[in-house]
């Protein structure tokens, strides 16, 4: 056996890897972090679609329930005061478009509604991260489906809300029309103030 003083120390190469600390090991998991970010974005996307379809379904259901109740309890073209003359129930059969425009074109507008629904779905898919736009498009889809259901089932749209002062009256409308009008106002607001629709790129 050689004595201990005969052992020669071996130099450690500077190319050898340095010891890795626990903190550095934690940062080595970059792919998992990326996965977490991606899953978060996917989760937000799913939440927007749930809001979009949930809002549209709610508008459709409320619209059809109110129309069925009105038809069962009121007569066509008979004004029934609710808040005096300023708000009345006036049941009417609208064969045209929104607010009674372009009457006797129900089938044409039914076909047009399918195209509009497709555009709404496409636009929602490209809406980016804007919750406000999602709400607006959900209202728009629900309103379009509500009136489309009437046109396919009855050949006309059931309108019943009549607002006005004295002889000045607004067009009769329904829940679906109100949702569509609210949607248009929200989209105009986003167009005027793009920051409300998310980032500049998304807006």
Domain segments of the chain as ranges: 46-197
63 is catalytic: no
pLDDT tens-digit series, residues 177-202 = 999 999 999 999 999 988 877 654 44
Find out whether 158 and 71 touch, Cβ atoms under 8 Å: yes
Q: Of 63, 150, 159, 162, which is the active-site residue?
A: 159
The pairing of strands 80-83 and 87-94 is antiparallel
Query: Of 166, 170, 26, nearest to 84 (Cα)?
Result: 166
Q: What is the mean pLDDT of the chain?
A: 80
pTM of the model: 0.72
Does position 104 have pLDDT exceeding 60, yes or no? no
User: Range with the lowest mean pLDDT among 4-18, 106-120, 126-140, 182-196?
Assistant: 4-18
- Strands (DSSP E) along 103-175, which ranges? 157-165, 168-169
85 catalytically annotated: no
Tokens in use for 25?
A: 């090991």
The catalytic position among 63, 150, 162, 177 is 177
Distance in Å from the first CA to the final CA of the chain: 81
Q: What is the reported pLDDT for 155?
A: 85
């Amino acid at each position: 056996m050689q004595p201990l003083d005969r052992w020669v120390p071996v130099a450690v190469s500077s190319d050898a890897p340095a010891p890795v600390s626990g903190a550095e090991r934690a940062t080595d998991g970059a792919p998992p972090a990326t996965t977490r970010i991606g899953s978060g974005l996917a989760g937000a996307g799913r939440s927007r679609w749930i809001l979009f379809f949930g809002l549209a379904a709610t508008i459709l259901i409320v619209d059809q329930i109110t129309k069925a109740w009105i038809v069962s309890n009121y007569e066509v073209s008979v004004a029934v005061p609710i808040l005096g003359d300023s708000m009345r129930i006036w049941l009417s059969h609208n064969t045209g478009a929104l607010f009674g425009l372009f009457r006797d074109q129900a089938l044409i507008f039914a076909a047009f509604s399918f195209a509009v629904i497709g555009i709404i779905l496409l636009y929602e898919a490209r809406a980016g991260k804007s919750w406000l736009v999602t709400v607006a498009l959900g209202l728009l889809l629900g309103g379009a489906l509500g009136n489309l259901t009437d046109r396919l089932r009855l050949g006309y749209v059931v309108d019943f809300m009549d607002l006005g002062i004295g002889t000045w009256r607004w067009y009769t409308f329904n829940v679906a029309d109100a949702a569509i009008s609210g949607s248009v106002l929200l989209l105009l607001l986003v167009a005027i103030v793009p920051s409300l629709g998310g980032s500049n790129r998304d807006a």
